[in-house]
Amino acid sequence: MASSTDSESSKPKPAPAPARPPSRDFLAHLEAYLARRDGVDKLLKISRYSARLALAAGPALPPAASARFKSFESSVGLSRKAFRLGKFVQSLNALRAHPHPPPALALLAYGGEGVYYFVEQFVWLAKAGLLPAHLLPRLQRLSAWAELLGYVGSVAIKLEEMVKIESSIKKRLAEGCGEESEAVRTMRGKLLLKRMSVVQDVADAVMALGDVTDGKGLLGNYTLMASAGLLSALISTHKNWNSC
């Protein structure tokens, strides 16, 4: 007859709980973040649109402070354009990753984004004084249209991806996976990030639409545009911080 000790030892042992990853050193994480082009660019974006929000206060600001904020906002805006040098290659590679010919939405999203980043290089050169200033309005208009079309395609693609993730979650739950299962929690996290990304693209699209329409109507509201820019910058900063 088997002893109670033997019977207990033959029972399957519960799987150990997954160990939490060690907390990352903050300064090492910050160094990795600042080493990225997008990391520095989004910090500059936060600074620029924070200054715009301050300028939206209007008469509440002393004249000297208002002049400083205007100079700072303009300088940061020009500095950010330098971070777009060569960034259109990223969009070209995204298109190359799709089968040939790429789907219409991918062509709209990555094609529009690629044209936007390519033209922005010349906008920077014109603002820096290397190209004739009379070219600037046309370059800015072309850049704004390409940016807007790119965001329309990007939002459409991400909405489709969100539907697929939600469908996968429902399938997992129907198979008996609980809400606390690792697979469902991972997909929930991806869905949240995708929703945040859609909000970011919509905020950027609103600003691009404002540029295309020359800020007519509600799109000329300084506080609204600055808030949209700041919201986009904060979401992007959060995503870049978690991914590095």
Q: pLDDT band for 214, please (50, 70, 90 cuts).
A: confident
Phi/psi for 239 (5° steps) reads: -65, -45
Average model confidence (pLDDT) across the chain: 87
**How far is Cα 131 from Cα 172, in angstroms, rounded to an integer?**
57
| Residue 182: per-residue pLDDT | 86
Average pLDDT, integer, range 140-169: 95
Tokens of 97: 């990753």
Instruction: Say if residue 173's pLDDT is above 60.
Output: yes
pLDDT tens per residue across span 62-108? 888 889 999 999 999 999 998 889 999 999 999 988 887 788 999 99
Q: pLDDT band for 217, please (50, 70, 90 cuts).
A: confident
Cα–Cα distances in Å, from 135 out to 79, 141, 143, 150? 19, 10, 12, 23
User: Contact 46/240 with Cβ under 8 angstroms?
Assistant: no
Instruction: Say if residue 18's pLDDT is above 90.
Output: no
Q: How many CA atoms lie within 13 A of 85 on its CB side?
A: 6
Average pLDDT, integer, range 225-239: 93
User: Contact 201/211 with Cβ under 8 angstroms?
Assistant: no
| Residue 21: per-residue pLDDT | 54
Tokens of 130: 């290397």
